[in-house]
């Protein structure tokens, strides 16, 4: 499953690069004298980062850095365990902003995300084992549920999870809900 996720991620990056290249070519045809250099676009993206962005991941990537951050965190009015937020994903060649949710419930801690094909509901085990396949989920969950720990390495948070009432022995799994997604 991790291999298919990596392959899918690489394929998405390739499509983004092709899409950006075609967009740049189109813009050059329309206004060749006002073409924007790629480095200028990158700098504009960096300058447009929200002031309250909490950086969760920053690592080297193709042509620059990859950055994952969270901002606009809100607790649901009707369900105090539910958090909504914006997730900022920045590559040297692209920028995506998604709205996501997590449940901070001690019985059912979840991360809910989606793409154009499906909704993904991931049950997490706060304070449990963190590996490359679930690391991002844990970083996002901790930043949303315990904001003062945003960006903290989740492998070091077992004692904190226990103090908050999490068992640290839940089985993690993912449900994929396929269908029309907005």
What pTM was estimated for this model as a whole?
0.76
What is the per-residue pLDDT for 20? 47
Neighbours of 141 (CB within 10 A): 23
What is the per-residue pLDDT for 9? 53
Q: Please write the tens of the pLDDT for every residue from 47-99.
A: 889 999 999 999 999 888 999 999 999 999 999 999 999 999 998 888 899 99
What is the per-residue pLDDT for 12? 55
Contact 73, 83 (CB under 8 A): yes
Mean pLDDT by 10 residues, the chain (182 residues): 52 50 48 63 80 95 91 97 96 90 97 93 97 97 97 96 97 92 62
DSSP, residue by residue, the chain = -HHHHHHHHHHHHHHHHHHHHHHHHHHHHH-GGGPPPHHHHHHHHHHTS-TTPEEEEEEEETTEEEEEEEEEEEE-SS-TTEEEEEEEEE-SS-EEEEEEEEE--SS--EEEEE-SSEEEEEE--TTS---TTTHHHHHHHHHHHSGGGTTS-GGG-HHHHHHTT--S-PPPEEEEEES---
Contact 113, 175 (CB under 8 A): no
* Mean pLDDT across the chain: 85
């Amino acid at each position: 499953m991790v291999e298919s996720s990596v392959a899918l991620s690489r394929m998405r990056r390739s499509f983004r690069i092709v899409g950006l290249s075609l967009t740049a070519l189109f813009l050059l045809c329309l206004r060749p004298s006002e073409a924007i250099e790629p480095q200028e676009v990158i700098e504009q993206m960096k300058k447009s980062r929200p002031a309250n962005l909490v950086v969760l991941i920053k690592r080297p990537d193709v042509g620059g850095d990859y950055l994952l951050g969270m901002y606009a965190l809100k607790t649901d009015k009707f369900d105090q365990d539910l958090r909504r937020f914006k997730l900022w994903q920045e590559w040297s060649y692209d920028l995506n902003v998604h709205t996501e949710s997590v449940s901070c419930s001690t019985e059912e801690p979840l991360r809910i995300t989606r793409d154009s094909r499906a909704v993904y509901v991931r049950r997490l085990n706060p304070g449990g084992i963190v590996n490359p396949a679930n690391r991002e989920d844990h970083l996002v969950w901790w930043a949303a549920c315990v904001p003062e720990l945003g960006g903290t390495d989740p492998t070091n948070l077992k004692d904190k999870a226990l103090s908050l009432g999490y068992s640290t022995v839940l089985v993690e799994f993912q449900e994929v809900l396929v269908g029309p997604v907005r």
